[in-house]
Structure 1
Amino acid sequence: MDRPSRSAGTVRPGGRTARVRAAVLEATQDALVEHGFHALSMDQIAARAGVGKTTVYRRWGTPAGLVTDLMNELANQSAPHSDTGGIEGDLRANALMVLEAINDPRLGATFQAVIAAATGDEEAARALRTFYRRRIDEWAAVVDLAVARGELPPGTDGKELIKAVSAPLYYRLVVTREPVTREAALASVDRALAAARAGAFVAETV
């Protein structure tokens, strides 16, 4: 997984519809950062974005609909996986991008707000799953390349390995509330890679 642009909807040109969407998504992200998911108000988002309430209700329907579109846009803005030529370099690049994202004041607050919302709102949970599924699928490709180069055992599950790299970082972020440091990110890579080389992520066949 990696770091998308800090502000959703700010880099895509287009006509009036695209501009309205960009303004609404930026207003949604602002509100999430400032007040969290449960304080999202469709009327306030419309006012922040400078668009009509009817437009916001018609296109997004609910606060969860706004969050879903926001997470889709953040996923769209995320860069492709790295290709350093080796699995250690690729996993380190992944971990450091996650580190940068969750320590960024705007992006980190956005993720924390949506993660918190996902514990009690199924639409928010679905948006979060979709975002991370797309990023995990993208980065799993570096594991497939490593298997082809003979760096990892055949059958290594790329998605599970990518999850194992970032999971300790998110645990620090949202569970123990510890600082998420570069040292923690690189240590997570070392542990996950050692396990992968030992065959811990080889998918079982039935």
Structure 2
Amino acid sequence: MTGPPTPTPAGPPDRRPGGRTARVRAQVLDAVRAELAERGHEGLTMERVAARAGVHRTTVHRRWRDVGGLLADVIDAAGETDWQPPDTGSLRGDLTALNREIQQSLVVRPSLALALMAASFHSEQAARAQTRLWAVRYAQCEVLVGRAAARGELPPGRTDAHGLLMAATAPVHHHLVLLRADPDPLLPERAAAAAVLAAAAGAFTRGGGGGGGDARQ
């Protein structure tokens, strides 16, 4: 699945209960991230996470039940961070900056983003959490299309923001994840430029009825 980047939070925000509960969650999720980075999802176990977090394993089992629960909570925590899409003053600049964030998250070693992608193919809970995260990120990034319309960068009508974002970011994922090629420093801007040209030509413009992911201009 392609989409905007998955930020790696240093710890969970204050959206969940505070005090000891929040501290335990922070310790456990940090341990999950570290274990994923070192061993991948194949080596992730409740026992290793508990030992690394300094938490009794019954606490981990009681709250998260299994590895799938741990993975889902790590992904959900990423969606709780105060991430904002780029604002460079142009659609091409915004999409380029977004692609550079995505590329960095995929090429850094070890890559938590890649580990979570792999894990989502082996855990239904993680897969559902990943889907929720992408939905949130795409919704957040629709502002890029709205700003571009206000600046007159996109044609009149209705722009499928989701389709435009997919077209702009997919080449980076394809290059790094599917082809496993070395990072291309020019690809983030090249992919962004191609998507902008397509959008300006009306490739993502819809007329008539509405649908999810459209940005009115």
CA pair 54-203 structure 1, distance change in 2 beyond 3 A:
farther
Query: Could you say which residue in structure 2 is the equivalent of 1:119?
Result: 121
CA displacement at 1:31 relative to structure 2: 1.2
**Taking structure 2 as the reference length, what is the TM-score of the superposition?**
0.84
The residue matched to 1:77 in structure 2 has which SS?
A: coil
26, 31, 46: which is aligned to 1:27?
Answer: 31
Query: Could you say which residue in structure 2 is the equivalent of 1:145?
Result: 147
The within-5 A match list for 1:71-86 is 71-86=75-90
Q: Distance in 1 between matches of 2:78 and 2:184?
A: 23
The residue matched to 1:105 in structure 2 has which SS?
A: coil
Are 1:176 and 2:172 counterparts? Answer: no
Q: After TM superposition, where is structure 1 displaced by more than 4 Å over at least 4 residues in a row?
A: 10-14
CA displacement at 1:204 relative to structure 2: 5.5
Deviations 1:112-162 (A, max 9, x none): 122122234322211211122211111111102212332112211112211
Query: Could you say which residue in structure 2 is the equivalent of 1:157?
Result: 160
CA pair 172-12 structure 1, distance change in 2 beyond 3 A:
farther
CA displacement at 1:50 relative to structure 2: 0.5
For 2:92, give the aligned amino acid: E
Q: Could you tell me whether the CA contact under 8 Å between 1:99 and 1:181 is conserved in 2?
A: no
Q: Distance in 1 between matches of 2:168 and 2:187?
A: 10
The residue matched to 2:83 in structure 1 has which SS?
A: coil
The residue matched to 1:111 in structure 2 has which SS?
A: helix
CA displacement at 1:175 relative to structure 2: 1.0
The alignment covers a number of residue pairs equal to 203
For 2:28, give the aligned amino acid: V
Q: Could you tell me whether the CA contact under 8 Å between 2:12 and 2:80 is conserved in 1?
A: no
Are 1:17 and 2:21 counterparts? Answer: yes
The residue matched to 1:182 in structure 2 has which SS?
A: coil
CA displacement at 1:56 relative to structure 2: 0.9
CA displacement at 1:104 relative to structure 2: 2.1
| Unaligned stretches of 5+ residues in structure 1 | none
| Unaligned stretches of 5+ residues in structure 2 | 210-217
Q: Distance in 1 between matches of 2:92 and 2:172?
A: 17
CA pair 10-120 structure 1, distance change in 2 beyond 3 A:
closer
CA displacement at 1:61 relative to structure 2: 1.4
Query: Could you say which residue in structure 2 is the equivalent of 1:36?
Result: 40
Are 1:185 and 2:188 counterparts? Answer: yes
The residue matched to 1:156 in structure 2 has which SS?
A: strand
CA displacement at 1:83 relative to structure 2: 2.1
CA displacement at 1:87 relative to structure 2: 1.3
Question: For the aligned residues, what is the CA RMSD?
Answer: 2.1
- Higher helix content, 1 or 2: 1
Query: Could you say which residue in structure 1 is the equivalent of 2:68?
Result: 64
CA pair 103-10 structure 1, distance change in 2 beyond 3 A:
farther
CA displacement at 1:11 relative to structure 2: 7.1
**Taking structure 1 as the reference length, what is the TM-score of the superposition?**
0.88
For 1:4, give the aligned amino acid: P
For 1:100, give the aligned amino acid: Q
Q: Distance in 1 between matches of 2:98 and 2:91?
A: 10
